[in-house]
Amino acid sequence: METKMTSHGRKVVRVVARVKPSTDLVSTRSISVHKPMGEDSETVSISFGAQFAGSKDSYKLDYCYEENQTTGSILTKEIKPLISTVFEGKDANVIAHGARSGGKTHLIQGNERELGLTVLTMSEMLSMAEERGGSVSVSVYEVSQETVYDLLDQEKRVVAVLEGAQGKIQLKGLSQVPVKSLSEFQNLYFGLKKSQKLTSDPPVRSHKGVMIHVTTGNANPGSLGRMNFLDMAGYEDSRKQNSALAPLEIARINKSIYALQNVMYALNANESHVPYRESKLTRMLKDCLKGCNRTLLITCLPREFSQDSFYMLNLASRICLGSNRAMTNPTKKKINGLERSISLSSAAQRRQTPLTVSATSRKQTVLRGSVTERKTKINTAASAIKARKLFGEANDSVKCKNSSKKMEGKARMALKNGISTSKVVLSVQASSPKEEICSSFTVTDSQSSLVEEEYSLAFSSSAVAMEPGYSTNASLSSEAVYITDKETPRKHEEIFSGATHCDDAFADKAQIVERDENNSVIEEDLTLVINEGENLDKENNSLLANETASPPLSMRLQELSNNLKSICKISNQLSVPEKYQSPLTILQAEEASEHSDITTEAAVNVELRTPERTMPSNIGCSPWKAYSAHSSKLKNSAVGEYLKFINTAGKEDLKKLKGIGDKRAAYIVELREESPFKTVDDLKSIGLSAKQVKGLLKKEIGEIFE
Ligand SMILES: Nc1ncnc2c1ncn2[C@@H]1O[C@H](COP(=O)(O)OP(=O)(O)OP(=O)(O)O)[C@@H](O)[C@H]1O
């Protein structure tokens, strides 16, 4: 995968830093900037002072503007080329991100003494528009708690983010005010604070944006491009004790910061899927960001750095390097106290990582039209998960393959339950050369023999959201890989219904929902729907609190125990020809089940017992090796089940676990609201040592054999 370039030969997302002067002149926690070719450097590296454990590490960016460089120099070097593209009909973005109080607002908005980038750019654009006979108008918006507000409206009207039939984003309700002069713009821009109502009490932190629209002259009026300035809410560790905001609120803000970072990473890495739907902000800016529109990401760094700005710089550097996965991840190094300090921070950050479930939550899709009109493709969260590479990588194809199987099994089951006259033909295609395992299966109507639906499942082997320092061996939770992105059905829906509100509901996990003419659900499986307005954290909480979705741990462990027995059987049958162990076995089992009284549970067991086609190494190797491989899979599943239980069980059920009392149960519930437990290591955050965690698991899993 290559870093994406525009037709001008520049990166789609250029990443620079802006250093805010230090208030503490004698500080030793100072960053240093290395520009190998002075001002002409194509890459610069930023490193930290000797007092910081990460002092040996440096982070590469495209450029860094230091204190002695004015905002005007950023305009000349970075923004002017973007303005030209806007007058050529493209969109451009200038995004300031960073830790809290890093100087984002100062840079974007400025003040009376030092004009910010928006004002300087407006001045340039007004002159250019005058020269070319065009006109300029402006929109000002705020994104707060997954809601977009129009700041040029006295009442701060809510802006609806709509997606048209062509996938074009419409921002319904966002005012565009014509601007003729700079003073007019300044009055409008700086007068906002005084005239407006507060969004909520207590105030919440938000992302603020200014969109400058350019239109051609009067003779042939038409929209050219847009220049979008975004002052992002500051990142901060949600575990900070002294923060004015509640941890959940901080986590929500951080989640939307990550979502935009994921999009920029995907754009720069030229990934096939860009996760625009992860947040309201990324959805609303989709058209501005997509294609060859250019983005300037400015990481605002105080000279006197903090852990938070270190973390933002790390992520910015990854966006900058895009596809360069060979980059040394400095956070993985074991230098003195570094590993400890990073893992501490990452443990904290893990708790506020955008939850995989919600981050990849997808809108409920209702397929309309007659059966024969349906042609639907379901892509799983591969890309969404893949986009998480920004936060680290993990290669555990076996787990993903397992998940792929489970997913297929579940989806097939859903189809089977819902389409009574259909016959499910399952075929496993080839593993992609990259990191995805693709399977597809086709549903044919046995009566008409017309192919009506094609489902394709693609699973990425990259892990769920990870922070720097997050163990790459972390187990994937089964939840993380069951998610379905129903992008295509969505479009399908829009063909029938025209513009659709993007935000009506989210559904999570694999789902196949159909409605009859009366709009009542005729088929529903694995579907959890969250209505608009429920924030993503709530969404997770409510999902996790859904105890009906969680059979008791003992049942699950019993199921695992049964599977172990099945695996042992399979180990003894290794001489069985491979063809009998292929996924065809599943089909045969299913076909057989159609003629028997086999229950859904039993069908799941058939699926779980099916040996992995993707592990042909087992065939013909020693029984011991095969047994070890299966045992390790079993261990992972058991751990996965345990974590699933921890993430879903009610307090009383949690207390049934060994070593979990009232306090710990309450703490678990509290922590998982912020972010589910993804690895066994996460359990340390409830005050258990590694040894205790191991002991707990041993006892719990050992009990199934008693
Ligand atoms: N380049 C600069 N020179 C001098 N002072 C600056 C500079 N950048 C920021 N400051 C000052 O630092 C303080 C914090 O800056 P600012 O409000 O821009 O940070 P922020 O990143 O927008 O904060 P938040 O994350 O809370 O939105 C302000 O008092 C601002 O005037």
pLDDT, one tens digit per residue, over 644-682 is: 888 888 888 888 887 888 878 888 887 887 778 888 777
Top pLDDT among 492 and 239 is at: 239
Q: Where in the chain is the domain with CATH 3.40.850.10?
A: 13-350
Rounded to an integer, the average pLDDT of 590-614 is: 36
CB-ligand 1 contact for 116 (6 Å cutoff) = no
Is 110 near ligand 1, meaning CB less than 6 Å away?
no
pLDDT of 529 > 70? The answer is no
CATH 1.10.150.280 residue ranges in the chain? Answer: 545-574+621-706
Examine the pLDDT at 341 and tell me if it is beyond 80: no
* Residue 137 confidence class, pLDDT cut points 50, 70, 90: very high
pLDDT digit string, tens, across residues 469-524? 333 232 222 222 222 333 333 333 222 223 333 332 232 333 333 333 343 333 32
- pLDDT band at 209, cuts 50/70/90? very high
User: Is 402 in contact with 633 (CB distance < 8 Å)?
Assistant: yes
Q: Which of 327, 381, 378, 331 is nearest to 356 (CA)?
A: 381
Query: Which residues are CB-neighbours of 416 under 8 A, at least 6 positions away?
Result: 422, 424, 590
User: What average pLDDT score do residues 125-137 get?
Assistant: 92
Q: Of 169-173, 217-221, 633-637, 674-678, where does mean pLDDT reach its minimum?
A: 217-221
Phi and psi at residue 244, to the nearest 5°: -75, -20
106 lines ligand 1 (CB under 6 A): yes
Rounded distance from Cα 20 to ligand 1 centre (Å)? 8
Buried b (16+ CB within 10 A) or exposed e, 172-205: ebbbbeebeebeebbebbeeeeeebeeeeeeebb
* Ligand 1 within 6 A of CB of 27: no
Q: How far is the CA of 102 from the centre of ligand 1 (A)?
A: 6
pLDDT at position 495 is 26
- Class of the CATH domain delimited by 13-350: alpha beta
pLDDT mean over 610-631:
61
The candidate with the shortest Cα–Cα distance to 280, out of 349, 209, 379, is 209
Higher pLDDT, 249 or 337: 249
Which alpha helices (DSSP H) does 55-151 contain, by range? 71-74, 80-87, 104-108, 117-132
Most confidently predicted of 6-10, 427-431, 596-600, 603-607: 6-10
Within 8 A by CB and 6+ apart from 131, the residues are none
Query: Ligand 1: which residue has its CA nearest to atom 23?
Result: 101
The pLDDT of 193-221, averaged and rounded, is 71
* pLDDT class of 363 with cuts at 50, 70, 90: very low
- What's the whole-number mean pLDDT along residues 279-297? 94
Residue 605 has pLDDT above 90, yes or no: no
Pick from 643, 209, 661, 680: nearest CA to 474:
680
Ligand 1 pocket: which of 73, 97, 105 to mutate (most atoms within 8 A of CB): 105
Q: Rounded to an integer, what distance in angstroms lies between the CA atom of residue 98 and that of residue 170?
A: 28
H helices of 584-661, where? 584-594, 600-609, 623-648, 651-654
Element (H, E) at 162: strand 158-163
101 lines ligand 1 (CB under 6 A): yes
Query: Is CATH 1.10.150.280 what the domain over 545-574+621-706 is classified as, yes or no?
Result: yes
Residue 190 has pLDDT above 70, yes or no: yes
Q: Rounded to 5 degrees, what angle do the CA atoms 54, 60, 66 make?
A: 90
- Give SS3 for 35: coil
How far apart CA 98 and CA 281 sit, in angstroms, is: 16
